């Protein structure tokens, strides 16, 4: 990746979606179980492999930067009750997908390791008895780990129940930054856990970081990244902290004057990209870095990288069935989201119904636009001939206005367009979200204001 052009980033510094789906969740409207079941039965991927997402909403401590949907509690009985409803949801969903192999499974949250070892084991067994899980060699089974909640012994249990990929939430190693966001964890304890993970044979270790946190400077970021590089994770995510206390109440505990200024934040990002790429990580796109031999980097080179609600994925051919409160499924041509409120989720399951309350069906125009956006954001290029073959139409006829709207980005050398397709240049990679936004038919002023800034 070429040197980061800060002037260009400032020029294109607008709010926009992260495109973990298209259309995005802002287009979701009330949806019922019947519409979801119809999408399941008509999915063109029917019979194909499946990806499962399981949401565990509980956290023991509140991180002040948090913008996730979670329940902060120390009451373990809440997890016991939740698991009983989750199992009933699994019993209802599993028959809809009988005979389909689960090649990808991910537990996220919240904090999945809020569950104790017995609960993790029991839930994994239950999932395995209702869905057909691939074996350890062919399945990708990941779990998000809060390093403060596990030790080597717990990791051994997590490996034994079948997980083979770990994602550690770190955010920053600087003590002052950690204290300001109420998430204190030492480098040494994280290092011990990561080393234990390697010994236990986890195939992939990923570390999540955030830039733009209080008291972060270029110097603290250099130190944090130096420590992260010592841990040598296969993947690194570096997310932008968007300070929106009016929308996310925990952020009210962060003092705005402690945040790095906009120009400082940008230079923190620029140096982070430089530091990581210099030691060999590849910038995959949208906050993600991976070693060149990691599956994400290889999938990108092979042109089959995919993006979903968990970020980048190598499982483009899967329907995704999401289980638990707030979880969003993508099956066939529909997105379907479960109730966000725990009481509502439980009431629906108690009624013998799936907990789906909203979503969106993806019409023919959205399918084409989604294919364009996903090609640009995952592969950084769109091949006109492939588009024509898949959709039986010339993109230059369907989306002439959008292609014309890319002109200024061509002049700024963010994209190149010729007869064969559109390519996002090295310079444009950090701004790929802006390129995608040109093809988003829902972006009006009101919509755009609901998103965070691109960088
Ligand atoms: S950031 Fe993660 S661990 Fe922290 S409160 Fe939010 S969901 Fe929980």
Mean pLDDT of the chain: 93
CA-closest candidate to residue 116, choices 144, 143, 81, 79: 79
This prediction has a pTM of 0.93
Per-residue pLDDT band for 449 (boundaries 50, 70, 90) equals: low
Does residue 213 contact residue 241 with C-beta atoms inside 8 Å?
A: yes
58 alpha carbon – ligand 1 mean position (Å) = 9
Q: What is the mean pLDDT of residues 265-286?
A: 93
15: DSSP letter: B
Residue 4's pLDDT is 72
Which of the residue ranges 45-54, 59-68, 115-124, 157-166 would you say has the lowest mean pLDDT?
45-54
Residue 47's pLDDT is 76
- Whether cis (ω within 30° of 0) applies to the bond prior to 67 is no
Residue 164's pLDDT is 97
Please work out whether the CB of residue 68 comes within 6 Å of at least one atom of ligand 1: yes
Residue 263's pLDDT is 87
Higher pLDDT residue, 455 or 362?
A: 362
Residue 246's pLDDT is 93
171 alpha carbon – ligand 1 mean position (Å) = 11
Per-residue pLDDT band for 32 (boundaries 50, 70, 90) equals: confident
pLDDT at 446 over 60: no
316 alpha carbon – ligand 1 mean position (Å) = 28
Residue 6's pLDDT is 78
pLDDT at 207 over 90: yes
Task: Kindly report the protein residue whose alpha carbon is nearest to atom 6 of ligand 1.
Answer: 66
Residue 450's pLDDT is 64
Please work out whether the CB of residue 146 comes within 6 Å of at least one atom of ligand 1: yes
Run of H or E including 144: strand 140-145
Task: Kindly report the protein residue whose alpha carbon is nearest to atom 2 of ligand 1.
Answer: 110
Does residue 42 contact residue 332 with C-beta atoms inside 8 Å?
A: yes
> How many angstroms separate the CA atoms of 226 and 272, rounded?
10
> How many angstroms separate the CA atoms of 141 and 241, rounded?
28
Domains observed in the chain: 22-321 (3.80.30.20), 363-455 (1.10.10.920)
Residue 308's pLDDT is 84
The closest-lying atom of ligand 1 relative to the alpha carbon of residue 110 is: 7
CA angle, 261 as apex, 260 and 265 as ends, to 5°?
65
> How many angstroms separate the CA atoms of 224 and 244, rounded?
25
Does residue 454 contact residue 15 with C-beta atoms inside 8 Å?
A: yes
Residue 434's pLDDT is 93
Q: What is the mean pLDDT of residues 386-393?
A: 95
Run of H or E including 193: helix 187-199
Tens digit of pLDDT for each residue in 141-151? Answer: 999 999 999 99
Q: What is the mean pLDDT of residues 99-107?
A: 95
Residue 309's pLDDT is 81
Q: What is the mean pLDDT of residues 112-130?
A: 97
Neighbours of 34 (CB within 10 A): 10
Instruction: Report DSSP letters for 399-432, one per residue.
Output: THHHHHHTHHHHHTTSEEE-SSEEEE-TTTGGGH
Residue 10's pLDDT is 82
22 alpha carbon – ligand 1 mean position (Å) = 25
Q: What is the mean pLDDT of residues 197-208?
A: 96
Helices 364-374 and 384-391 cross at an angle (nearest 10°) of 150
Which residues on adjacent β-strands are paired with residue 52?
105, 321
Question: Which of the listed residues 70, 181, 310 should we mutate to test ligand 1's pocket, taking the one with most ligand atoms within 8 A of CB?
Answer: 70
Residue 354's pLDDT is 95
Integer angstrom CA distances of residue 69 from 66, 326, 390: 9, 8, 37
pLDDT at 2 over 90: no
Question: Which of the listed residues 71, 73, 108, 109 should we mutate to test ligand 1's pocket, taking the one with most ligand atoms within 8 A of CB?
Answer: 109
Report phi then psi at 340, rounded to 5.
Answer: -85, -25
pLDDT at 199 over 80: yes
Per-residue pLDDT band for 455 (boundaries 50, 70, 90) equals: low
Integer angstrom CA distances of residue 315 from 303, 311, 335, 371, 406: 12, 11, 17, 15, 30
Does residue 206 contact residue 233 with C-beta atoms inside 8 Å?
A: yes
Residue 7's pLDDT is 82
> How many angstroms separate the CA atoms of 147 and 189, rounded?
8
> How many angstroms separate the CA atoms of 318 and 51, rounded?
6
Residue 345's pLDDT is 98
E strands of 260-375, at which residues?
Answer: 282-285, 288-290, 306-308, 311-313, 319-323, 328-331, 334-338, 356-361
62 alpha carbon – ligand 1 mean position (Å) = 6
Which of the residue ranges 303-317, 321-335, 404-418 would you say has the lowest mean pLDDT?
303-317
Q: Diameter of the chain by CA atoms?
A: 61
Residue 454's pLDDT is 56
> How many angstroms separate the CA atoms of 11 and 154, rounded?
47
223 alpha carbon – ligand 1 mean position (Å) = 23
Which of the residue ranges 199-203, 347-351, 383-387, 426-430 would you say has the lowest mean pLDDT?
426-430
Does residue 104 contact residue 139 with C-beta atoms inside 8 Å?
A: yes
The closest-lying atom of ligand 1 relative to the alpha carbon of residue 70 is: 7
Instruction: Report DSSP letters for 77-113, one per residue.
Output: HHHHHHHHHHHHHHHHHGGGGTT-EEEEEEEEES-GG
> How many angstroms separate the CA atoms of 121 and 139, rounded?
17
- Give Cβ neighbours of residue 322 (< 8 Å, ≥ 6 apart): 52, 53, 54, 55, 309, 328, 329, 330, 338
- Give Cβ neighbours of residue 236 (< 8 Å, ≥ 6 apart): 206, 207, 208, 209, 228, 276, 281, 288, 289, 290
Of the chain, the percentage scoring pLDDT greater than 90 comes to 81
Residue 14's pLDDT is 82
- Range with top average pLDDT, 263-267, 276-280, 428-432: 276-280
CA-closest candidate to residue 287, choices 209, 231, 226, 224: 209
Run of H or E including 364: helix 364-374
Q: Look at residue 24 and give its three-state secondary structure.
A: coil
Q: Look at residue 238 and give its three-state secondary structure.
A: strand
């Amino acid at each position: 990746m070429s040197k980061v052009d800060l002037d260009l980033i400032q020029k294109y510094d607008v709010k926009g979606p992260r495109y973990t789906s298209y259309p995005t969740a802002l287009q979701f409207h009330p949806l019922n179980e019947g519409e979801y079941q119809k999408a399941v039965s008509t999915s063109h991927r029917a019979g194909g492999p499946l990806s499962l997402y399981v949401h565990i909403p509980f956290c023991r401590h509140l991180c002040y930067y948090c913008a996730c949907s979670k329940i902060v509690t120390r009451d373990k009985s809440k997890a016991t009750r939740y698991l009983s409803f989750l199992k009933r949801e699994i019993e209802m969903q599993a028959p809809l997908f009988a005979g389909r192999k689960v090649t990808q499974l991910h537990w996220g949250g919240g904090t999945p390791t809020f569950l104790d070892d017995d609960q993790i084991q029991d839930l994994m067994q239950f999932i395995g008895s209702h869905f057909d899980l691939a074996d350890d060699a062919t399945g990708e089974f990941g779990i998000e780990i809060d390093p403060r909640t596990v030790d080597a012994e717990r990791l051994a249990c997590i490996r034994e129940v079948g997980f083979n990929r770990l994602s550690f939430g770190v955010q920053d190693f600087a003590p002052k930054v950690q204290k300001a966001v109420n998430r204190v964890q030492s480098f040494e304890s994280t290092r011990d856990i990561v080393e234990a993970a390697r010994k236990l044979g986890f195939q992939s270790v990923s570390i999540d970081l955030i830039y733009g946190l209080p008291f972060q400077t270029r110097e603290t970021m250099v130190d944090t990244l130096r420590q992260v590089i010592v841990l040598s994770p296969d993947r690194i995510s570096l997310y932008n902290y968007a300070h929106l206390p009016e929308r996310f109440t925990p952020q009210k505990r962060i003092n705005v004057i402690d945040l790095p200024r906009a120009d400082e934040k940008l230079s923190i990002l620029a140096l982070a990209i430089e530091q990581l790429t210099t030691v060999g990580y590849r910038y995959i796109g949208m906050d993600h870095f991976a070693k060149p031999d990691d599956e994400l980097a290889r999938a990108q080179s092979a042109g089959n990288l995919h993006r979903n609600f968990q970020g980048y994925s190598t499982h483009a051919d899967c329907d995704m069935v999401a289980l638990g409160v707030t979880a969003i499924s993508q099956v066939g041509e529909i997105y379907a989201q479960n109730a966000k409120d725990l009481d509502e989720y439980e009431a629906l399951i108690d009624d013998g119904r799936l907990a789906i309350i909203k979503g969106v069906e993806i019409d023919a125009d959205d399918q084409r636009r989604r294919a364009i956006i996903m090609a640009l954001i995952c592969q950084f290029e769109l091949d006109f001939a492939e588009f024509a073959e898949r959709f039986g139409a010339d993109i230059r006829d369907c989306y002439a206005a959008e292609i014309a709207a890319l002109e200024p980005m061509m002049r700024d050398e963010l994209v190149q367009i010729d007869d064969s397709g559109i390519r996002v240049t090295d310079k444009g990679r950090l701004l790929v979200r802006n390129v995608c936004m040109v093809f988003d038919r829902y972006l009006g002023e009101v919509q755009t204001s609901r998103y965070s800034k691109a960088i």
